[in-house]
Amino acid sequence: MNNQKEQLDAIHDIKKLMERSSKFSALSGRSGIIVGIMAIVCIGISYTILGISPFESISYLSILIRDEAINAELFKFLTINFGVVLLVSFLTAIWLSNRNAVAKGEQIWDLTAKRMLINFSFPMFAGGAYCFILFTQNHIELILPATLLFYGLALLNASKYTVDDIKYLGVFLVILGLFASIYVDQALLLWGVGFGVLHIVYGSFMYFKYEK
């Protein structure tokens, strides 16, 4: 009986070692929560800049684009707002994931982490290029839906090298991106739901499942 238990424990240890070598498990649930909160703050600031409320029937596009011309000043402020949130979110995720890796006795920058980053980065760079093309061709209404779509696809692509739960976040973001592509007048609100609410829900789930 003891031999059988020892064999099962050995198999379990081998399985954990194999998973650790093939999957990056140091992603922090707290970073997801913080990113979500920052995204909601970002949306709040965006609506303030536009001078409207998410509960009004006025579309953000009607403020940003008038007489088929983009309000350059508003667009600049919105771009800075989203850019700052993106940068701070990225740095926060790296910092908290590094702390999580140290606590688990893992390396933050091993081969698996590099593979995950490469698989995540390719759709993100493609999405960034596509958003730039949309901007140059004056398809401003599709930029926010595109960020949801490509970010969701990046998470799905990276899920092979990290915890499986992240793919569900990717699926929901892709679905939201498709809805935002149809209901473009509500894209700003849907962006807040995707990057804000879903990140908070996902981060809380990750925290209580893996870190608590």
Domain boundaries, the chain: 27-211
Give the per-residue pLDDT at 3: 57
Helix or strand or coil: residue 117?
helix
The DSSP code for 195 is I
Residue identified by tokens 């926010």 is: 144
Helix or strand or coil: residue 69?
strand
Give the per-residue pLDDT at 130: 96
Cα separation, 177 vs 150, in Å, equals 8
Other residues' Cβ atoms within 10 Å of the Cβ of residue 130: 17
Task: Decide: 113 and 104 in contact? Cβ < 8 Å.
Answer: no
- Residue of 124, 126, 123, 142 lying closest to 134 (CA atoms): 142
Give the per-residue pLDDT at 210: 74
Task: Decide: 26 and 106 in contact? Cβ < 8 Å.
Answer: yes
Cα separation, 186 vs 95, in Å, equals 33
Give the per-residue pLDDT at 64: 86
Query: Which pTM was predicted?
Result: 0.83
Per-residue pLDDT of the chain (212 residues; tens, 9 = 90+): 555 555 455 444 444 444 444 465 667 788 889 999 999 999 999 999 999 888 888 889 888 888 778 888 888 899 999 988 888 888 888 787 777 777 766 666 677 778 888 898 999 999 999 999 999 998 999 999 999 999 999 999 988 888 788 899 999 999 999 999 999 999 999 999 999 999 999 999 888 877 76
